[in-house]
Structure formats: structure tokens, C-alpha cells
Amino acid sequence: DDYRGEEIHPGAQMQRDEDLLQAAKDRLGLVYHPAGTCKMGTDPLAVVDERLRVHGLQGLRVVDASIMPTLVGGNTNAPVIAIAEKAADLITMDCYDG
């Protein structure tokens, strides 16, 4: 018609379910949010403490999705903002407490 052009991808020639599935497999990829790589806790595998400080180092904190134990069910943006807000509070308190 006057408003729409021809289908671009996968194309009008793709009519069988098997062909459409294969086209989707060929074109699509995974999108993921890395999380949980810098575990919080007191056990030997933990990277940061409850104040986000890296064990064994002074002046270094981890403030990102890597401290989350598991990936959240939605986008990681809001939880990481919350982690950053909490980190800002912790850093501010540490500055005033000496």
C-alpha cells in the first residue's frame, strides 16, 4: 500500500514455521546483566563486607550489580541505583565518623 513497504526481515519468502524459527535463531542473541561476581558476606569467598568495602584492602568499595547475590527479575538499573544511594550514605557516614 502507500504507507508500508515490503517486509524487510526475515522477508516475505519466509512462510514456514521452521524457516521463521531458524531465522530468529540466526538473528537473535542473548542480552544479560552480569551480577553476583563480588559476593557480600563474611565467608572466605566473599569479596565485600556489609559496608561494601573490599576485604583486605583499604579505601576500595564495590558499588554495582556484582554485589547482588542473584540477578533480579527485571532490569538491574533501579537496584543498582539503590545500591549506589546506600553506598553514598555509607561513605558519608565513614567520612564523618573518622
Q: What is the pLDDT of residues 10-57, one digit of tens each?
A: 888 889 999 999 988 888 877 677 888 999 998 888 999 999 999 999
Domain ranges of the chain: 32-98
Quote the CA–CA distance of 92 and 94 in Å, as a whole number: 5
Q: What is the pLDDT of residues 49-82, one digit of tens each?
A: 999 999 999 999 999 999 998 888 888 999 999 9
* Residue of 23, 33, 71, 87 marked active site: 33
Q: Is 55 a catalytic residue?
A: no
Are 53 and 61 within 8 A, CB to CB?
A: yes
